[in-house]
Structure 1
Amino acid sequence: MPEPDRPQELPARLLTDPEMIEACRVRDFSRVFLLVKSRAGIYPSMVARRCDLTPSRVGEVISGRRQLLHMDVVERIADGLRIPGHMLGLARRPWETPQALIATEREAPHLPELEPDRQAAASLPGPDVDSILALTDRTNLNAGTLEAFRSSIEDYWRRDDQHGGEALRPAIVGQLRYVVGLLKQNPPPSIRSHLYGIAAELARLTGWTYFDARQYNQARAYFTEALKLAKEIDDRQFMANVLACMSLQATYQDKPADSLALATGAQDQARSSRGTTPRVLSMLSMREAFAHASLGNRDSTHRAITEAHRYFAQIRPSDPDPSWVTYFDEPKLIVDTGIAHGRLGEAATAEPLIADALRREDHTKHRGRAFHTFWLARTQLDQGKLDMACQTATRALVSASTVASERVTGHLREFYDQLAPHRQEPVALAFEARLRELLPPVSGPLHP
């Protein structure tokens, strides 16, 4: 849930609007202020208050009688209006990086100096050289090229599941730009449709890595781009998948009504496609269950869970499932069912389901296991099983320590907050000691 003193984020559609991007690039704050007024409902008086400016000064900027050139003022505007630093030519702002992921600067290791000729050989060409060479590159687009793209996407997802996507993002974005560049070369129609699908998946994956880092504006922008790319080839199943991702993000942003609208919109897209498989419909029904549970709609949650299991029972080995939904296997169905019950406060029902799924899950998927183990600990604590909950959460720390994920840290923080009434109990103290041993960078901010 957003902190009460934190300024509201600007809508993703505004931050990705070409007019806003250009106005920020040239620091035309007259246009910026007018755009945030018309597109985000932030009026000049609110701009003044947020950015520590006088209302008269804001009025002069809007009328074109004054320019804002001082760097400290530009930084106040970026922070007050929540405009990402790169849009205004600034360094990444502190609020763009979750506090738990801010690393202490370390002194660079001393490296022996290379001789001039060896030093030159070890240096890399600048990105402008890569761009120039790319203009002369002629990619032989064929089935093998497409398969190579798909294989790399599968590898990205596997590594994201194991260790988080933060370190992968530059490579994913680079490949997305490369594929979009290939589309601009007007490839043959048979290749073009596949490239659109690959670009859509890369855009969704980029959005997912931002979502996992709780950088929601950037995530929404890339999810939206994924929808546009999928729409070009009328891939309604994939559009449903992207909407399901956005629905899940809305639950993390404490926007349950948005989550439900996106989940039902995803189902509408899927049902309008003749080829939608039962596995896809089962996954989408579970997303709907999460949304209803966040709203506290008990009967609707139970109904959506029943639908998810009914569709899952219809799955056949011969179904042409898209690759992006194969993760939704029986352990995933069971654990999500448990989490939906947990969100409703039905801890006694949730606990055995989550425990059963954890016993059957792939042990290499560290992030998912960390999430699910923390959920198991929360349901145990909700039932007053303090010793068991702390032991379970301690096991979760092992998986959490191998993953760079702000979402994992968020689940850890929620459990830690639940422990507040029991903080001086020996088992809670033992958990905290293990926490500080395995996750020292995140343990400090967790203290009340």
Structure 2
Amino acid sequence: MDRPSPDPREVVAGLLGDERLTTACAERDMGRLFRILNARGVSTRRIAAAADITQGRLYEYMNGKSRVEKLALFEQIADAFHIPGHLLGLARRVWEPPPPAAGHEREEQPPPAGDELAAVEQFRSADRQAGGGRLYGAVVRHLSERVAPRLVDIGSGPHVFAAAAALTEMAGWMAHDSGHDERAAQHFTRALPLARASGDLPLAAHIAASNSHLALETDDVAGAVGWARGGLDLAARGPRIPALTARLHTIQARALAVARQSAPAAHALEAAHRDLAAPQAADHPWLSPFDAATPAGESALVLRDLGRHEEALSHAEHAVALRAAGRVRSLALGRISLVELHLRRGDPDAAVHVGHELLRTSPTLGSVRVLRQLDGLCQLLERHREYRPVREYLARFDDARRARMLLLADLIPSSPGGTTA
């Protein structure tokens, strides 16, 4: 006699501390989630019925032939299996217990630093796949409900301030990715004194680099250079972390290149490459990784602004080759750079070839930043409309853009300048 299929909610409840389940949720890989439940004895018929999908579609997800993309379906799955909203980058679900009321005293020890580090890693992983627009609210709620109350606890140690700084900086990046640069600046401004209060100079330098990036994105070139120099000063006063100083030198090089200061920009870029070639220290717990693909992509932008398009193309191709498929936003930004460089070099055929790969970017990627860069790329392509392959590509591009705009309508800022029409 067959054993009855267990209740999927009970199975999920027992797996909420399991790294395999939390990673699947952070990466929004519902096929992997369904395989985990099936391996724990939940029948495919019961999984499909709970998620309100056909068994045929379920098998497509489980076999990796298709992925869940629609926000409504993620919410449906969260509610069907009682997966807490923050694990999938969603708002708190109606069935989740409310946070403790303000002023309600509990005799609990503050969670260890490892808990906040795990939260940072989960948010960071989900952000790479889904984009900051879908996760911003969850990060802000986590800060206000879990971290901020501990900042006023007299027994809290420096790690609490470091966690608050790292999560506040992350919220800033997600606001920037959502097209809300003023809000991003507010988060970065709040993050720096928290990092200083923790005594973590590398973290403070890392936040200075984020301020520099945002200043450059908002056309404050002098501010970008100033923040990069300030970050290098902070980094010099703390433990040596070559990847951190490489990031600061790279953003400084970008700002100097935009300012048409060719020699200083080239020197800063050389300094970044020297740091990357140096023996690397162990990863700092609160700093987002500066892997090999990131400096390659940034170097391409610096060299592009310096007019060295052939060198820029080599770095851009290297960056895309190194990017894992799970880094959806970074891969899209890298391919946008590649298309632009091919056009600047007068090779529209190569631009169209990479452009078709770009169209496969998930239309639900919650990144207004990517959407704006795609619009800028479209304007460049329009200059080559008389060339038939470009004209045919633009027709497909317009169709994909309309679909993307509909799917991201809830994220696109409505204020003037929020995005192009």
Letter in 1 for 2:141: G
Please say which of residues 416-425 and 194-203 is displaced more in the overlay.
416-425
Q: Residues 428 and 150 (structure 1 numbering): CA distance in 2 closer, same or farther, change over 3 Å?
A: same
2:217 to 252, 273, 280: 252
2:143 alignment partner in structure 1: 176
State how far apart, in whole Å, the 2-side matches of 1:271 and 1:430 are: 52
Letter in 1 for 2:126: R
State how far apart, in whole Å, the 2-side matches of 1:314 and 1:382 are: 33
2:235 corresponds to 1:270: yes
User: What SS does the corresponding residue of 1:135 show, helix, strand or coil?
Assistant: coil
- Aligned ranges 1:72-87 → 2 under 5 Å: none
Letter in 2 for 1:205: M
2:413 alignment partner in structure 1: none
Please say which of residues 425-434 and 198-207 is displaced more in the overlay.
425-434
1:141 to partner: Cα distance = 2.2
Q: Residues 443 and 199 (structure 1 numbering): CA distance in 2 closer, same or farther, change over 3 Å?
A: closer
Per-residue CA deviations over 1:410-437 (Å, capped at 9, x if unaligned) read 2111211112221242222222222233
Q: Residues 201 and 301 (structure 1 numbering): CA distance in 2 closer, same or farther, change over 3 Å?
A: same
Contact 1:279 1:325 in 2 (8 A): no
1:225 to partner: Cα distance = 0.9
Per-residue CA deviations over 1:384-414 (Å, capped at 9, x if unaligned) read 1011112212212222524111110121112
1:446 to partner: Cα distance = 5.8
User: What SS does the corresponding residue of 1:422 show, helix, strand or coil?
Assistant: coil
2:298 corresponds to 1:336: yes
State how far apart, in whole Å, the 2-side matches of 1:179 and 1:443 are: 34
1:51 alignment partner in structure 2: none
2:226 alignment partner in structure 1: 261
2:116 alignment partner in structure 1: 149
Letter in 2 for 1:181: P
1:321 to 280, 283, 292: 283
User: What SS does the corresponding residue of 1:185 show, helix, strand or coil?
Assistant: coil
* Bigger-Rg structure (1/2): 1
Q: Residues 124 and 333 (structure 1 numbering): CA distance in 2 closer, same or farther, change over 3 Å?
A: closer
2:104 corresponds to 1:139: no
1:231 alignment partner in structure 2: 196
Q: How does the TM-score come out when normalised to structure 2?
A: 0.70
User: What SS does the corresponding residue of 1:136 show, helix, strand or coil?
Assistant: coil
1:311 alignment partner in structure 2: 275
1:409 to 343, 367, 371: 371
Contact 2:364 2:404 in 1 (8 A): no
Per-residue CA deviations over 1:19-71 (Å, capped at 9, x if unaligned) read xxxxxxxxxxxxxxxxxxxxxxxxxxxxxxxxxxxxxxxxxxxxxxxxxxxxx
Same amino acid, percent of matched pairs? 23
Gaps of 5+ in 1: 1-105, 107-122
Per-residue CA deviations over 1:340-399 (Å, capped at 9, x if unaligned) read 101222211111111122112212101001001100110110011011112212212222
Contact 1:281 1:308 in 2 (8 A): yes
State how far apart, in whole Å, the 2-side matches of 1:323 and 1:411 are: 31
Contact 2:158 2:199 in 1 (8 A): no
1:296 to 250, 260, 266: 260
Letter in 2 for 1:305: L
Per-residue CA deviations over 1:237-291 (Å, capped at 9, x if unaligned) read 1111111111111111111111111111111111122x13111111111111111
State how far apart, in whole Å, the 1-side matches of 2:216 and 2:293 are: 22
Q: Residues 306 and 133 (structure 1 numbering): CA distance in 2 closer, same or farther, change over 3 Å?
A: closer
1:443 to partner: Cα distance = 6.6
1:374 to 321, 325, 336: 336
Contact 2:143 2:164 in 1 (8 A): yes
Give the RMSD, CA atoms, in angstroms: 2.4
- Aligned ranges 1:38-187 → 2 under 5 Å: 124=94, 130-132=99-101, 135-143=104-112, 146-177=113-144, 178-187=146-155
2:207 alignment partner in structure 1: 242
Q: How does the TM-score come out when normalised to structure 1?
A: 0.66
Alignment size in residue pairs: 317
